[in-house]
Structure 1
Amino acid sequence: MPDNPIHKIFWGKIPVVNASAMYFFKKGGSVQRLVHQLKYKGHLEIGTLLGQNYGHKLKQEERYKDIGLIIPIPLHPKKLRIRGFNQAEVFAGGIAGSMHVQLNSSAIKRVVATSTQTKKSRYKRWENVSGIFEITDSAVLENKHILLVDDVITTGSTMEACLTQLNTIPGIRLSVAAIACAVR
């Protein structure tokens, strides 16, 4: 996929089968407002509806037909307690329901609480997420095509950190999806 800007983020770093996002995210744009309503105002129905719509779209594409498990990027338990929900999990749940694929929110966990990435440079983001994820149930992941889901892909550093851990599992194939990918 030489012209896929989302796929290019991971090119040469982690082997990713497919990479996609529903929208491109521009600062101050309507997609940013939509994501903020979900993430910071608690409008979970936005994430569910977006996930359902995207799941229907992905289900029609041949390259996503063999997805065996959908995993949202996990939040650290402390952040999850504060926010009350994981926006990536809400979106992933909508996708899973539409695709009729199991959602697993416990096979990988975030073991390090990181500070917000919104104002960090590409290098600082990468440094901030190094070693923050841990596999909790490798057996359920073996020999599966996993769809890893997040709300927004900016530099890809969080997704890359999670993909790096998942890539240690025997026979795993990895694809990624997000509500939006930031425009640079």
Structure 2
Amino acid sequence: MKLIKDLLSIFFPDLCINCYSRLLEKENHLCTICLNDLPVIVFNDVIKKMLKSIFYGKIPIEDIYSFMYFTKNGITQKLIHGLKYKNQENIGEFIGRRICYEITKLQIFKNIDAIVPVPLHKSKLKKRGYNQVDYLGNILSVHLNIPFMSGVLERESKSKTQTRKQRFERFSNSGRKFFIPNIEYLENKHILLLDDVITTGGTLISCSEELLKVKNIKISICTIAYTEKG
């Protein structure tokens, strides 16, 4: 078995997802150099206030966290692309463990009752076969001992891919795209809404507007990444 593994590593070596150099035995996804270059957000009150300001006057949120900065063609984009389009579940585990470590260190999200992912439209889910945020949600659920509730929030209709739209169009087209099949499941709960990237905040706002119809609900937000580019 080891011989087969060794032969495979010769002809099909594991490569760094960012620089494509050959990974050493104990390296996963990223080489040590790229891992050290991971654009982790140094989280503090200033960063938290800046992230919360995206949602001021739109939705009330209890707390917020984002793990990395997102830049075009950067390490974060490549990690998310592997998770989102290549079904690399182990990337979700890698990111999830890192996020768990950071939020535990920061002592945030202490009173969360459930983790809820931003859903995919059913046609995208059928085509892709999975929701990339579910991978992350399951890891957070296990390590933080918080129930993961996939399916309690659903997407109502498919629209053009958000990443291809201008800021105004995103906001005008993001509303009323989600629904909650069983509202009673979320009543009186503080939920952690989970997504991959914050850009304009349009999708998270749209989800939250629907969630806020639930009796006595509180919402906090966690994402893999944040980008300043709308």
TM-score by length of 1: 0.94
3-state DSSP of counterpart to 1:139? helix
1:16-55 deviation per Cα after TM superposition (whole angstroms, max 9, x unaligned): 0111111010112111111111111221110122113212
**Superposed counterparts of 1:8-27, under 5 Å:** 8-27=53-72
Q: Distance in 1 between matches of 2:95 and 2:115?
A: 15
Q: Distance in 2 between matches of 1:52 and 1:97?
A: 10
Q: Is the 8 A contact 1:144 1:172 kept in 2?
A: yes
**Superposed counterparts of 1:9-158, under 5 Å:** 9-158=54-203
Q: Distance in 2 between matches of 1:169 and 1:63?
A: 23
Structure 2, unpaired ranges of 5+? 1-44
Q: Distance in 1 between matches of 2:160 and 2:71?
A: 22
3-state DSSP of counterpart to 1:71? strand
> How far 1:115 sits from its partner (Å)?
1.6
> How far 1:82 sits from its partner (Å)?
0.4
Q: What percentage of residue pairs aligned between the two structures are identical?
A: 35
1:65-99 deviation per Cα after TM superposition (whole angstroms, max 9, x unaligned): 11000000000111000011101111111111111
Structure 1, unpaired ranges of 5+? none
Q: Distance in 1 between matches of 2:100 and 2:182?
A: 25
3-state DSSP of counterpart to 2:220? strand
RMSD between aligned residues: 1.4
1:153-181 deviation per Cα after TM superposition (whole angstroms, max 9, x unaligned): 11110111000000111111100001001
Q: Distance in 2 between matches of 1:103 and 1:24?
A: 25
Q: Distance in 2 between matches of 1:175 and 1:22?
A: 14
Q: Distance in 2 between matches of 1:58 and 1:67?
A: 12
Q: Distance in 1 between matches of 2:139 and 2:153?
A: 19
| Deviation >6 Å, runs of 4+ | none
TM-score by length of 2: 0.76
